[in-house]
Structure 1
Amino acid sequence: MHAIALWRRLLAEFAGTALLVTAVVGSGIMAATLSPDDVGLQLLENSVATAFALGALILTFGPVSGAHFNPVVSAADWFLGRRARTGLTATDLAGYTVAQVAGAIGGSILANLMFDLDAVTFSHKDRSAGHLWLGEVVATTGLLLLIFALARSGRSAVAPAGVGAYIGAAYWFTSSTSFANPAVTIGRAFTDTFAGIAPASVPGFVVAQLVGLLAGVGLLLALYPRPRGNPDRQEEPKKAVEIR
């Protein structure tokens, strides 16, 4: 049973996800403004800002909610902890997911308003292609494996740096630029800017992320079948985690 009230954890997930998407979208807008003729430089500026913001947000909200900011992370936490009842409950999972999606949409709207754009400008950037979906499977699988490998091996303290570094790198080594997060994917449909994704492209990305969830949990259980410290107790160490 969690010592922190559910409403506090939901508020942390809402605010953390909102600020994460604000960082992703806002840095994308700024990058396009500062480097209008260099897409590579725009991606560099966007990825660096996102990686640093993510690490800072995990440090800020991790002690309250675990700093998931991502429905697939929350789903994995529920699945891996259900036997020993150490992870999220089904009610927690539903609440986290709603808070994360709402926060992501709010974060996109906030970024639009900060840069004097309409509050909602649905993206026209088509991202529907098999190679992009494969990139999302890879990005999500790697993210989950990293997060829960750190938790199960007693290294959660380095999660802010590790997760931020992974997302920053995955911008570059995945074809999709590593959304790896259904809530953030939905939120980014609400901005027609550098970081946007067309609403029609969202379902394909979310399905790919769910495939990554299954692959990531499967690999984790093969490589780290039990948390360190007690081989007979399936318990996840307290973690501070997310994603983009």
Structure 2
Amino acid sequence: MKRIIQIAILILTSFATNSYAQIDTIKLKREARSLLREGNKLYNKQKFDEASIAYRKALGKNTKYDKASYNYGNALYQGKKYKEAVSQYELATKTAKTKVEKAEAYHNIGNAMMEQKQYQQAVDAYKNALRNNPGDDETRYNLAVAQKEAKKQEQQNKDNKDKDKKNQQDKDQKKDQDQQNKDQNKDKKEGDDKDDKKDQDQQNKDQNKDDKQDPKNDQNKKDNKQQKPQPGKMTPEQMKQLLESLNNEEKKTQKKMNVKKSKGRKVKQEKDW
């Protein structure tokens, strides 16, 4: 009997627990819907930042609330927060209950990618939208625009890549040319220095040869050698000049002596008183 009572208590407890959990879930969903409506009112008043807060709170109550994810993405998109908007639209594609809702989420992903100039990603998103809703003409039109922009961007990237490659080639070529000119100038300078040294050596050699072969140089050396007096000896010319100088001195001395004799002494006169 006790065993039966225990089992009954467990069943009742489990039932009560599940009931409370269901009640909490229903309560959270109700609160999420209320926050969604609040966010929609703010969105319609173009208060996108405040609407984003309300949608985020709604998702806090119910993480799988697809409408809250989609509307949160729209509010972020209107606030030009395109990257964050894409994250919410991607979440909406996973929680969408119908293909049309999923197509709308992919469509908006494409729009957000277009705003970021990520045209190839926009093309992929629009294609996914058409797979879920092939009859959407607006998506088809946006896809054509995205494909055109993607092709243009691809060509521009290619042109920029070719331009960068050419600029790099020109830069490398200029670097090589500068190095070649530098090497040539270095070789030329070294060659000129060698030529100058060679010319100077040849000039010195020729000068020495001319000096050796010029008879005037030999005669000058000989004359200089002859004219240079030897120590302790006098040339005949010097001896002649010396004798003439001595004779002149002697004549001057003799002349002075004669003048002195002719004058004589003064004679003292006696006064005549």
What TM-score results when the alignment is normalised by the length of structure 1?
Answer: 0.27
More helix by share: 2
Higher-RCO chain (CA-CA 8 Å, sequence separation at least 6): 1
Which structure: larger Rg? 2
What TM-score results when the alignment is normalised by the length of structure 2?
Answer: 0.25
